[in-house]
Chains A and B, each alone.
Chain A
Amino acid sequence: MNVIGTRNQKSFWLPLISGTICITLLLGVYGLWCLQARLIKNVGETLSLMASHIASTLDRELHHIYGDMEILVLTPLIQGNDLPAITRHFAAIKQSSPLYHWIGIAEPEGQILASTDGAMVGKNVSHLGVFQTAHDQRRMAIHEGWPSEEFGEDQIVAFAIPPIDPPDVLQRILLVSISPSSLEEVFDHAQQSTPFREQSHVSIEWQLITQSGQPLLSSVVKKQRDGSLPELDQPSVQLVTTGNQGFIQETHPHRDVPVLTGFASTKGHKDIPGSRWGVQVSMDQKNFLPPIQQLSVKMTVVGGMMVLPLWGLLWWTTRRCECEKQTAALAEAQYRSIFEKAKEGIFQTTAEGQYFRANTALASLFGFQSPQELIEHLTLLDQQLYTDPTRRTEFQRMIKEQGSVEGFVSQIIRQDGTLRWISENAHAVHDAKGDLLYYEGTVEDITEQKQTEEDRDRFFSLSLDILCIARPDGFLKRLNPVLPKILGFTPQALLSRPFFDFVYPDDRVATQAALQQLVEGQEVIDFENRYVCHDGSTRWIQWRATPVDEAGLIYAVARDVTERKLAEDERLKLMEQLSQAQKLQAVGSLASGIAHDFNNILTAIIGYTDLARICLSEKKSAETQLREVLVAGQRGRELVKQILSFSRQEKTDHQPVKLQEIIEESLTLVRATLPPTIEIRQHNGSPAAIILADSTEMYRVLMNLCTNASQAMADSGGVLEVNVDEVETISSSSVPPSELLPVPHIRLTVRDTGIGMPPGIQDHIFDPFFTTKNNEQGTGLGLSVVHGIISNHGGTIHVESAMGTGTAFQIYLPIHKGSSVVPQSLKVPTSKGQEHILFIDDDEALCHLGKEILEHLGYQVLTQTCSLQALEVFRQTPQAFDLVMTDDNIPAMTGQELIGEFKKIKADIPIILCSGSIQDHSEAELRRLGIQARLFKPIGVNELAESIRQVLDATLNPG
C-alpha cells in the first residue's frame, strides 16, 4: 500500500508542474499578445502622427499658396497685358515656396499667356478639368490627378484660380503647378523626424490621396503607362477620404503582406472642393513585429518541448497509475479472497481484546454464523474465548515483549460450548510513533493434531518397548518410561548424560559404529548391546533405529532381550552339549560298529583256533580251521583299511567337469553288473552343466548309489533312474537343504523302485558303519563316504524313501560357470593289444566287466574269482599269461600274497594291482613287491587301457 501511495504523489506533481508550465506559457503568450498590440498601437500612433504631421505641413504650404493665389488674383498686374512683368512677378512669388513648380496665366480660352516656365507659354489647357471648373464655376479649383503629357510627366497642376475683376467678367485664369518632387520632399522631411529614421531596415511607404480617393503621389504603387496611379481599395483609403485620422492594420495592396497604416487628412481650403487630401504612411508589420513573433514562436516551441514530454510523462504516469490502481484493486480483491476463503482464521483485534476484523473461517472456528456476529458478540476475549483467562494476558505479554507470537496454543470455548484447541500466530501493529494500534494474526484449529499428540503420547507412555528420540551427539532427547524402568535410573539421569555412559564398556565401540551408521544415513536393524543398570547388572537391549533425519534426530525403538539372550546362550550351550553328545554318540557308533565287526572276526579267530587246537589234539588236519583264522585275520585287516580310508577323506583337487560324462561312464560300469531284471533309465535336463569336482570321487559316489539301488531291487527287479536337472536353490521349495549357497545347483537324482527304507533308518544312513546289509555286501561305510565327498564338493545329499515304493537320493552340487576339463577316463582309449591277461577279482560282476572291457581292447582274458584257483591256473601254464591283474582284497589270500605266489612261479610276470581303497604302500614298496602299476577302483576304461599298455610295453622293452 505504501508503494501505491508514493506513486500517487508522483502523479500529483506531474500535472502540477505541467499545469504551471502551461499557465506560464499562456501568460507569456498573452503578454506577448499585449506587447504586440501595444507595439502596434504605438507604431500606428507614430505613423498616424507622421501622417498628421505631413498633412499639417502640406496644409501650411498649400495655404501659403492659396494665400498667394488669392492675393495674386487680386493683383491688377495679372489683369494687364504686361506679360513680362507678370512673368517676373510670378517668378518672385515662386521663390516664396518650394512647392511651386511654375505659375502661369491663361486666357479664358485656355491659352497660356505667361508662365515662369517659358515652355508652357502658348499651350492650351482648356481641356483640363481644373481649368474648366475654374472657368465654368469662376472659383478656385484643384486638379485631382495628373495633368496630361503636355505638362510634362512629373508636373502637376494643382489648381487654377480665376481672377475675378470685375466679378462677372472672366478675363484670365491663374494657373499654379505644384512640384511633385517638392511634395515628396515634404514626405521625406516628415519621415526624417520620426523615430524610425535611424532604423535603416525599416521602410516606410506613403501616399497622398485626393479627396475622391485617387492617389496623387505614392511610394507604394507605381504609375501606370499613362502616368496615372491605379486606384486603391484599402480600408485606410476609405477612412482618410472621409477625413479620419488614425491607423489601421491592413494588407499591402500589392505585396499582400500585413502593414500598419497611419493616416490623416489635410484640412484643404474651404472654398476649394476636393482640396482636402489624405496622407497615408504605411509600415510593414514585419519591421517591428518579428522579434515579438520570434519570441512567441520560441516560447511556443520551448514550452511545447517542455510540456510535451511532461504531457507524455503525465499520460504515462496516469496510465501507469491506472494500471497500478487496477493491480491494486486486483490485489485487494485477491487479498480479500484469501482473507475470506482462508481455512485459517484471520483477525485484527484492539489491544483491549475487541475484534474489529475477522474472516469467515475464524467465525466458523469460534462457532459464529458470520464474522459480523463474531465482532458483535465477542467483546471480552479473556472472559468469553479462552478457557483459561490468563492466556489472553500471556498472549499480550508475549507480544509486548517479543513483538509477535508463534504457535501460541490455547484452549477455547466455542459459541456452542464445545472446546477446541487453537494455535495462534500474531503480531502487534504500531503507528509511526510506535504506539500500539492493534493486533493481527491467524488462528488454526489444532484440536485433531492435539488429539493425535495426546494419542501418541499415551502410546509412547504405554509402550512395552523402549521408545526414544536421540541426537547424533549421543544424548537422548526424549524417552518413554520403559528404559528408566529397565535400567533403574530416573529419566532425568538418562537424559542428562550421553547414553554411551550407560552402555556396557565392551559394547561401546559397536554402539559407536551403529550410531555412525545412523549418521551416515543407514538404518540400524536389530542391533544389540548391553546397558549397565543402576544396580550394576547388565541388560541386553535390541535396537531398531532410523537414520538421522532433517531435524537431526534419531528415532529408535528397542526392547529388553536379556531373557532371550540368556535363553539363546542356554540353547547354544545345550546345542554344544548336544553336539558333543552327538559326537560321542557318533564315536560310540563308530566304536560300536568297529567292535561289532571286530568281535565277529575275533569270534572266528578264537573259535577256529580252538577248533584247530581240538583237531590237532585229535591228530587231525587243522588246515581248514586255520585258513578260516587267516581269513578272519584278513577281514580284520580290511576293516582297518576301510576305517583308515574313511578317516582320510580329504579335499582333493577339483576341476570343472561335465557331470553328464561322469554319469555316462559310471552307468557303463553299472550296467554291466546289473541283473537283467533291473532297467536303467537316464534323463539329463541339463546335459551341459559343469561342476567343480574330482571325477574319481564322483564315480565313487555314483557307483555307490547305483550299487545300493541295485541291491534294493535285487530280489524283485525294477527301474534304476538317474536324472539330472538344474534348480534354483532358495526359491525352489523342492530343495530342502538350507545350507546351500544361493546359486544355481545341479540336482542329481538316483532313484530305485526297490524296497525303500523306514524313516528311522533314513536318519542314520549317512552314519559310518550304519548298514542294513549283511557283512557280505559291505561294511556300512559307503554312504558316509558319499556324504563326505558331496560335502567336500560344496554340495549336499538328501534322501527320500518310502517303504515298498523305493528310494531316491538327491545330490545338489553348485554349477560351475566355465568350460570343463574332459575327465581322463573319457578319452578314447587308443592303447590296445592282443596279450593274454589273467584277471582276478572276487566279485563276479567285476570279473565279467573287466573281461568285457579288456576283450574290447583286444586282449585275451581269463578271469578268476578265487585266488587259489587263479594261482593254480597260473602255475599250470605261466607262459600263457603276459600280465596279471588282481584285486588286492580277495578272500583266502590278499592281493599281495597272491602276487608273491605269482612271482615265485614267474618272476618277470608284470602285475597290476587293483585297489578298492587307499593304502599306505609307497611306490618303493610297490616295486619291492614286484607290482608294476596300481589302479584305484573304480577304474576308468582309458586309465585301464593306458596302464596295461604301459606295463606291457615296459616289460617287452625293459631298456
Chain B
Amino acid sequence: MGRILLIEDDPQVRSLIREVLERAHHEVVEAINGIEGEKIFRSTPTDLIVMDILMPEKEGLETIRNLRVDFPHIKIIAISGGLPHFPIDLLALAKKFGACRTMLKPMEIDALQKIVEEEIGKDHFSDRSERKCTS
C-alpha cells in the first residue's frame, strides 16, 4: 500500500486510474497538471507518481525533469496517448528525463496495476539501474 500522486488532465482517465489504484488500496492524490502536481509533491512527497505527459499549463516532461533534479530517487510512471513516434517519441523522452516506467494509452488496468505494484514494492534505496523501466 502506498501513496500515489496522480497527475492527469483528462477527468475521466484521472477518475479511472484513481479507482483502479484505490481498489489496490493505495492512497491517491490528484492533480490536473504539472504545476499542481509538482506543488503537491513538493509539499508532501508520495511513493510514486503516475503522470500523463501531454497536459496544459505544464506538461509532463518538464515536470519529470524538475522533480528529478530535486528528488533524484523519485519514482514516476509516465503514461501518454500521443502517437508513439510522431512528432517525437514522448515516452522515450520521458524515460530519458527520468521516468522509470512508461505506459502507452489506452492501457489495460491490470498492466497499470501491475507496474504500480512493482514500483511501490521496490526498495527506495536500490540503485538507479534497478529502477530502469522494464515495460
Contact = CB atoms under 8 A, between A and B. Distances in A.
A599 B109 contact: no
Given A596-B54, A771-B56, A775-B10, A607 B16 contact: yes
A20 B56 CA distance: 135
A938 B55 CA distance: 28
B115 interface: no
A606 B56 contact: no
B5 interface: no
Given A592-B87, A595-B81, A603-B106, A635 B12 contact: yes
A635 B9 CA distance: 15
B70 interface: no
B16 A775 contact: no
B56 A772 contact: yes
A208 to B, nearest CB: 177
Interface string A576-595: 00000000010011011001
B78 to A, nearest CB: 14
Interface in B56-81: 56-57, 80-81
A635 B11 CA distance: 12
B106 A588 contact: no
B33 interface: yes
A773 B33 CA distance: 10
A608 B108 CA distance: 10
Interface string B9-38: 111110111011001000000001100000
Interface in A608-643: 608, 610-611, 614, 625, 628, 631-632, 635
Contacts of A588: 83, 86-87
A184 interface: no
Contact of B19 (A598, A601, A603, A611): A611
Given A607-B109, A775-B10, A596 B81 contact: yes
Contacts of A592: 82-83, 86-87
A891 to B, nearest CB: 10
Interface in A298-344: none
Contacts of A602: 81, 105-106
A635 B20 CA distance: 21
B13 A603 contact: yes
A600 B105 contact: yes
A596 B82 contact: yes
B110 interface: yes
B82 A775 contact: no
Interface residues of B, number: 30
A625 B106 CA distance: 16
A775 to B, nearest CB: 5
Contacts of B107: 603, 606-607
A604 B16 contact: yes
A607 B20 contact: yes
A592 B10 CA distance: 16
Contacts of B56: 771-774
B15 A603 contact: no
B87 A628 contact: no
Nearest to B33: A774
Given A611-B19, A773-B56, A585 B87 contact: yes
Q: Chain B contact residues: over half helix, strand or loop, or mixed? A: loop
Which of B10, B55, B80, B83 has most chain A Cβ within 10 Å? B10
A597 interface: yes
A600 B10 contact: yes
B81 A631 contact: no
A605 interface: yes
A438 B96 CA distance: 108
A598 B81 CA distance: 8
Contacts of B105: 599-600, 602-603
Contacts of A614: 23
Contacts of B110: 610
B9 A591 contact: no
Nearest to A609: B109
Nearest to A774: B9
Nearest to B54: A596
A595 B82 contact: yes
A520 interface: no
B83 A604 contact: no
B11 A608 contact: no
Contacts of A599: 80-82, 104-106
A776 B11 contact: yes
Contacts of A625: 19
B17 A607 contact: yes
Contacts of A600: 10, 12-13, 81, 105
Interface in B82-127: 82-83, 86-87, 104-110
Contacts of B15: 604, 628
Nearest to A589: B87
Given A592-B87, A774-B33, A606 B108 contact: yes
Contacts of A585: 87
Contacts of A772: 56-57
Nearest to A605: B106
A595 B16 contact: no
Contact of A608 (B16, B23, B32, B83): B16
A603 B20 CA distance: 12
Nearest to B8: A600
A776 to B, nearest CB: 6
A609 B108 CA distance: 10
B34 to A, nearest CB: 12
Contacts of B12: 600-601, 604, 628, 631-632, 635
Contacts of B32: 774
Contact of B81 (A589, A597, A605, A610): A597
A592 B83 CA distance: 5
B5 to A, nearest CB: 17
A602 B109 CA distance: 12
A635 B19 CA distance: 20
Nearest to A613: B109
A610 to B, nearest CB: 5
Contact of A775 (B9, B20, B86, B108): B9
Contacts of A591: 83, 86
Contacts of B55: 774
Contacts of B33: 774
B20 to A, nearest CB: 7
Which of B12, B104, B107, B109 has most chain A Cβ within 10 Å? B12
A767 to B, nearest CB: 12
Contacts of B19: 611, 625
A626 to B, nearest CB: 13
A606 B10 contact: no
A604 B109 CA distance: 10
B18 to A, nearest CB: 10
Interface of A: 585, 588-589, 591-592, 595-608, 610-611, 614, 625, 628, 631-632, 635, 771-776
**Lowest 9 A-B CB distances belong to which pairs?**
A599-B81, A602-B106, A599-B105, A607-B16, A604-B12, A603-B106, A600-B10, A774-B9, A596-B81
Given A592-B86, A628-B16, A631-B12, 9 more contacts: A588-B83, A595-B82, A595-B83, A597-B81, A599-B81, A600-B12, A774-B33, A774-B55, A776-B11
13 contacts: A585-B87, A595-B83, A599-B104, A600-B12, A600-B13, A603-B16, A605-B106, A607-B109, A614-B23, A631-B12, A632-B12, A774-B32, A774-B56
